[in-house]
Copies of this chain bind each other. A is one copy, B any other.
Amino acid sequence: MSNTVFSPFETVKFEGPSSDNALAYRYYDADRVVLGKPLKEHLRFAVAYWHSLAMTASDPFGGPTIHRPWNEPGDPIAQAKVKADAAFELFRVLDLPFYCFHDADMAPAAPTLAETLKNFHIMADYLGEKMSGSKTKLLWGTANLFSHPRFMAGASTNPDPDVFRWSAATVKHCMDVTKQLGGSNYVLWGGREGYETLLNTDMKHELEQMGRFLSLVVEYKHKIGFDGQILIEPKPKEPTSHQYDFDTATVFGFLKKYGLEKEVRVNLEANHATLAGHSFEHEIATAGALGILGSLDINRGDALLGWDTDQFPNDLWTMTMSMYHVIKAGGLGKGGCNFDAKVRRQSFTAEDMIHAHVGGADLCARAFLTAAKLIEDGKYDALLTERYAGWQTPEAKSLLDGSTSLDQIAARAEAEAIDPQPRSGKQEQIENLLMRSIYTDNV
């Protein structure tokens, strides 16, 4: 076993709610069976290579505070391997079943496309070796098409077609590697697919570029027989002023326009939801309603800050209702819960990194257990069913099934002199019920 910053830590174990060990799981009992299968198969937790291994905690007003050995000067490939060794040590410590990566996190960029791709494949093989000695699998791979200056005006939506081509080449190899490593999904986050200012942008042309790019990806998936999901990760803005994949509803319209709504799903992130003006549970419920829920990026934003803080989650209410909507949508399938979250800039120690994941995993696990109880108990669902019960009559169904026209409905409403009466929406009663269900540790 390599000697890394994470090596001194023992593997985190489930010890139950009464444990007084800060580095133990209290709720994440991986093998506990709920709703018919083990918790770990519902949640499919993943560690994010970028935030957990590559991040240095600089911000727009200050430099790095996290200094890891693999960021010291040295041979790029050798250092990337040191980083990979540390990654697998972290996976061991956390005992979570998956990880996720961008090409740029795990392999060093080089001046030319050829060398960059070569580095990437060297490191892909190395990760493959590491995985063969580990139980951690790949939840998804993705390409970083936003950090390098060549992407400053977009990747597939760049005014320069050569950047589109560079992006295509990169994604092709990234899909190959994701397949090679047994990934369950391939994700596209269009970090600069949008505009810094509309003033210099031909939006219609850029949307066309992006539509074709996604079609290329889907066609290639089928060509190589990759059986994972293709996922788009919506975000409304940052670093751009406007990102084309604004939110779930926007992505759905985009997929419909290019006939890809059966081929592509969404990878939803909590902080991206709130930046778009939505709750996390709203985005999940919307994706569920539209049939495109794919996977989750677990984190939280700060409602009082206007940027992507990517904090580890601590809001039990939101997470419980999010998990409720996940279950209602049929679960995450090949997706999972990826900790796309970063420790704060002052939390620079290796121990901080472990605390952060332990807290996050426990919060999600407890939220899932509570959501499952809510559903099994049925009282909450019964309130909803009762609220919409009027729609179960034949007459009501005829309003929706296409059999009646507007003037027929009008004529009948007038003839019957309908006079619908108000009914309480019972929001406070429901909130009280949920408070009692969510804020108990009897899960």
Chain A, 282-322, CB within 8 A of any chain B CB: 282, 285-286, 288-290, 302-308, 312, 314-317, 321
- Is B253 a contact of A425 with CB atoms below 8 Å? no
**Which of B152, B201, B242 makes the CB contact (< 8 A) with A65?**
B152
- Enumerate chain B residues within 8 angstroms of A252, measured Cβ to Cβ: 253, 257
Q: A22-B433, A406-B219 are in contact. Are A428 and B59 (CB under 8 A)?
A: no
- Enumerate chain B residues within 8 angstroms of A256, measured Cβ to Cβ: 253, 256-257
C-beta contact mask, A136-173 vs B, less than 8 Å → 1, else 0?
Answer: 00000000001111111100001111111110110111
C-beta contact mask, A410-440 vs B, less than 8 Å → 1, else 0?
Answer: 1011100111101111111111111110011
State whether the Cβ of A3 lies closer than 8 Å to any Cβ in chain B.
no
Shortest A5–chain B CB gap in Å is 14
State whether the Cβ of A88 lies closer than 8 Å to any Cβ in chain B.
no
Identity of the chain B residue whose Cβ is nearest the Cβ of A163 in the assembled complex: B420
Q: How many residues of A contact B (CB 8 A)?
A: 159
Q: With the chains together, A89 CA to B16 CA distance in Å?
A: 46
Shortest A61–chain B CB gap in Å is 4
- Is A307 a contact of B304 with CB atoms below 8 Å? no
Q: With the chains together, A206 CA to B361 CA distance in Å?
A: 33
- Enumerate chain B residues within 8 angstroms of A197, measured Cβ to Cβ: 344, 425, 427, 430
Cβ contacts A to B, 12 pairs, < 8 Å: A112-B419, A162-B419, A172-B409, A205-B388, A217-B406, A220-B407, A241-B305, A246-B249, A307-B307, A347-B426, A352-B424, A441-B441
The 8 A-B residue pairs with the shortest CB-CB distance, nearest first, are A306-B306, A253-B253, A346-B425, A303-B303, A256-B256, A161-B396, A162-B420, A169-B410
